[in-house]
Amino acid sequence: MDSELTSCTSCSPRLPVPSLFTPSGSVTLARSAGSALLWGVRSPRSRDQSPGRQGLAGLPQEVAEHGDPLLGLVPDEESSQTVRMSQTVSWNRRGSHSSDDEGPAVDRRVSKVSARMSSRSSAELSRISSLKSGYGEHVRKVLTLDSLTLLRAAPFAAVLRCFGGIWASSEGTEEDYELSMPVSQIDHFLSHAWATPRISKVTALMIYYNFLPALVIAAIFAISAFVAKALGMLPMGNMEDTYFIVGESTWLLSLFFLHDAYCHLGSRFQSVVFVDKLCIHQTDPVIKAQGIKGLPAFLKKSRSMVILYSDAYLTRLWTVYELASYLLLRPGGRVEFLPVDIPKFLMLGLVIVSFTPRSNFYAFWWVAELVGFFLEALLCYWLAALQKKVYDAFANFDMSKTKCFYEGDRHIVESNVEAYMKHMEHVHVDATLTESLDAFNLLVRATVPELLRASWGTIGIPFRITIMVDIPGIVQVFDLLWASFWTGDVLTAQFVDFLLTLCHWVLAGPIALAAGVYVGKTCVEKEGPLARVLTLIAIFLTLFAVEWALAVPFFLLAFLAQHHPVKALLGWVAYCCALLAMLFLIHGLPELFYSLCRGGRDSAPGGDTVESDDLDGARAVDSDDD
């Protein structure tokens, strides 16, 4: 079992520099280990990368040949012979460029290193081995559940039913526990702070789980209504000047209530998630204690961690402990950050897009456009400020400043983090508790910002969020085309106009919003009221310039469609390709599709999610090699 736990470190490349594994070098190693975890980079699983052999090719020759007990590297005879042969070959190759005495000189240096390593007393090596075994035993205990039935998860629909009734308070009941079920694998571990308001967490989860299905359902309903009207199956009466926004209302209903339909399909068609209130017994003190003790086991069995981030998240000891356990036990695992303020951004965007065009009936069109640009500038500034606040919070992360309802838990949590850091060789076994926690702080500061960038996208706003903001305009396109049939306009010209409008909302809108957020992120560092006003003006001008620059081809092609529809259609293809190229430059092709499709059981790009079965297989190989 101990060998199984040791191989957890094979998921992230070790840095083969023995001098770092000293108490004074623990901080340096933690920073380096943090960079090794970025983007979930892992080495291929093979017999050559077991703990006894991993990284031998990158080690100094003296360490590769003689091993290093501090690193846990004991090469076999085959490895030693390989190193000696490589030394001989390298000496022979250098013979023509150096003196004949260079080989013996290198040999003497290797002998000195070997003598120095051999000078370590057997008592010292025995003490280090004993410490390692002790920390390994500690980690093994916290990763072992007292019963397999304790590993539980709940269907995500149960978490959202009754508009997230379970999030009303942290006090659980027997009925809440019955909503979960024993599982062998957890799809998403939901990490949150109970101080965060219920409405914020529920709306963030609805967007995360229901976005793509709601978008598909809205498109189906909008197209169905269009086809029904075109075939004369849906009467409209005398309403030439009225548009019914069918798709928009369907999308909102699906977004906020689709999970209730999943309740009737069973857990087989849903992602299963961990929520402490549902998956850890809250009324039986014995079972509750077992569940809390086995919290790292829940994390080890989770395919991904979904963090419902709020200002309170990094101030709570237990949420930080969850993040620490996942980063150390599942290096390379997927972490999703869901700021609970994002739904406010989305709802404000929906209001702007929904009502600004309709104000054309009450004001000049350019007045409506200016109001829309100003509100969108506020939106971009607020989002840029939110991102800065989150990044600053992680940049100044300090575990010792977290709060805990019961201070007696702090010793348990900190001792577990210390055991993780030492067992996985992020710090030396002789490092103090303070040094271990300092190294962990550096690990979080180095790793989490990159995870944030991977989760939020290149510019800090996922592509699917920008699509959500433009949903009313997208579905309104179908209704406009529907109305054109009723008014008897030219079909070909209206169809080209439909394609242009759809392309503008889906592609041009996100480009303009991305430009506004980028300017906001660049200027939000400035402090003071005047700086904020100037930043808003800069965002406003950016949005205005980008929107109109992208709209000029739109208007030209729309005018051309009235006289030459075929030429306008070819122009639409070129216009669409140009906008797609811009989006690829901003977001990147993998990020675009991953941002749209994630939220279910899918894995991260490249399929690099660490599966529990894969870890077990790797550990079995490691055990054979040892």
Neighbouring residues of 272: CB distance < 8 A, sequence distance ≥ 6: 153, 154, 155, 156, 181, 183, 186, 187, 188
Nearest to 291 by CA among 270, 276, 306, 305: 276
Fill in the amino acid letter for 588: G
Alpha-carbon dihedral sign for residues 162, 164, 169, 171: positive
Number of helices followed by number of strands (H, E) in the chain: 26, 6
* Sheet hosting strand 152-155, strand order edge to edge: 181-182, 152-155, 272-274, 186-191, 302-309, 334-339
Q: How far apart, in whole angstroms, are the C-alpha atoms of residue 66 and residue 257?
A: 64
Contact, 304 vs 189, CB < 8 A?
Answer: yes
Task: Answer yes or no: is 622 within a domain.
Answer: no
DSSP track, 309-374: E-TTGGGBHHHHHHHHHHHHHSTT-EEEEEETTHHHHHHHHHHHHHHTGGGGGTS-HHHHHHHHHH
Q: pLDDT by residue (tens digit) across 234-248?
A: 665 554 444 445 556
Q: Is-above-0.85 flag for pTM?
A: no
pLDDT value of residue 222: 73
Q: 60 and 207: one domain? A: no
Do 57 and 177 belong together in one domain?
no
Residue 460 maps to a domain: yes
Q: What are phi and psi of 610, to 5 degrees?
A: -80, 120
Please give the Cα distance from 107 to 61 (Å, whole number): 11
Structure tokens at 375: 């509100």
Q: Report yes or no: 532 and 601 within 8 Å, Cβ to Cβ.
A: no
Same domain, 111 and 155: no
Q: What is the C-alpha to C-alpha distance for residues 554 and 508, in angstroms, rounded to an integer?
A: 10
Q: What is the dihedral of CA 391, 392, 393, 397, to 10 degrees?
A: 100
200 and 88 both lie in a single domain:
no
Looking at the structure, tell me whether residues 165 and 51 fall in a common domain: no
Looking at the structure, tell me whether residues 336 and 216 fall in a common domain. Answer: yes
> HEC profile for 22-61?
CHHHHHHHHHHHHHHHHHHCCCCCCHHHCCCCCCHHHCCH
Counting the structural domains of the chain, the total is 2
Largest CA distance in the chain: 102
Q: In the chain, which stretches have pLDDT less than 70?
A: 1-136, 138, 229-230, 234-248, 266-269, 348-372, 458-461, 465, 469-494, 497, 587-626
Q: What is the pLDDT of residue 275?
A: 93
Q: Does residue 394 sit in the same domain as residue 269?
A: yes
Nearest alpha carbon to residue 476 among 119, 225, 173: 225
Residues in the chain: 626
417 and 342 fall within a common domain: yes
**Is 155 part of a structural domain of the chain?**
yes
Which of 319, 49, 78 lies closest to 191 in space, CA to CA? 319
Q: What is the DSSP letter of 231?
A: T
Reference 443, options 27, 43, 39; nearest CA is 27
What pLDDT is recorded for position 192?
Answer: 92
Query: Do 194 and 341 belong to one domain?
Result: yes
The CA distance from 137 to 3, in Å, is: 11
Contact at 8 Å (CB) between 464 and 211? yes
Q: pLDDT for 271-326, tens place per residue? A: 899 999 999 988 888 888 888 888 888 988 898 899 998 888 888 888 888 888 88
Pick the closest to residue 109 from 99, 98, 117, 100 (CA basis): 117
In a domain, 537, yes or no: no
Q: Give the pairing type, strands 334-339 and 302-309.
A: parallel
Q: Is residue 605 part of a domain?
A: no
The answer as to whether 250 is a domain residue is: yes
Q: Are residues 24 and 98 in the same domain?
A: yes
**Residues 96, 44 share a domain:** yes
Integer Cα distance of 114 and 116 in angstroms: 5
Whether 603 is covered by a domain: the verdict is: no
Tell whether 626 is covered by a domain.
no
Q: Domain range for residue 47?
A: 2-68+70-119
In a shared domain, residues 275 and 389: yes
d(CA 509, CA 513): 6
**Tokens read off for 430:** 């002789």
* HSE of 225, CA atoms in CB hemisphere, 13 A: 24
**Domain boundary pick from 488, 504, 539:** 488
Q: DSSP 3-state assignment of 182?
A: strand
